[in-house]
Amino acid sequence: MIIMRSRFDEQLNHLRKKMIEMGAECENIIALATKALFDGNVEEALRAKEEGIKIDELEREIESICLKLLLQQQPVAKDLRIISAALKMITDMERIGDQAEDIAAIVATLNGRVGDECIYISAMAEATIKMVTGSIDAYVNEDLSLAKEVLKHDDLVDEAFISAKASLIKMIANNINDGEYALDLLMIAKYFERIGDHATNIAEWVIFSVTGIHQQGG
């Protein structure tokens, strides 16, 4: 029995390592898409697509690990929460990858024009990377306070999105020729807002994995 538990704990540690790896890939793809936007670099935007493929592969690998843990072992209640939370979290991480790819795809159509007219987008990108990092660290370390800090950062992302929207509407009003470009930036801002929402979901599942209570934010 002790040997079986030891083996189970080893597999749980392997799961945590893979979660860290997938979280790091999410950070990378957001950073790549952001750098591509502010450098006006199409090649960097294309690299984001490669990161997206890695995230998809890790999602499948982690899903397989979780299913093996459930089928081959006899997890107790806390183990079940950790595994089920991981399954929920990887869905959100995969969507983070998709939305970062969507940002990169828009960047590829901007013909080298950079997004520095809207400083709020940069703030959103920085905040979302911190949220993804924080939520994964909170999961691995079972850190409730860190997970709750991530939830607070979502308000900052939402506020930055409101400011970005107002700024871009003003840009269109000042120069109708910038209308299409401003709408592209607005879509990018919206994708960052969604990334923040997914990071919030991850933090909520972390709280569930520790406490057994899943309370969705507003």
The predicted-structure confidence for 108-149, as pLDDT tens digits, reads as follows 888 778 767 778 998 898 999 999 999 999 998 999 999 999
Range of the domain at 69: 2-211
Residue range 59-103, pLDDT digits in tens: 999 999 999 998 876 778 888 999 999 999 999 999 999 999 999
159 domain-assigned: yes
Domain assignment present for residue 218? The answer is: no
- pLDDT score of 32 more than 80: yes
pLDDT at 5: 67
What is the pTM for the complete model shown?
A: 0.90
Instruction: Say which CATH number the domain at 6 has.
Output: 1.20.58.220
77 inside domain:
yes
Dist. CA 201–CA 204, nearest whole Å: 5
Q: Does residue 217 form part of some domain? A: no
Note the residue count of the chain. Answer: 218
Closest of 132, 125, 164 to residue 149, by C-alpha:
132
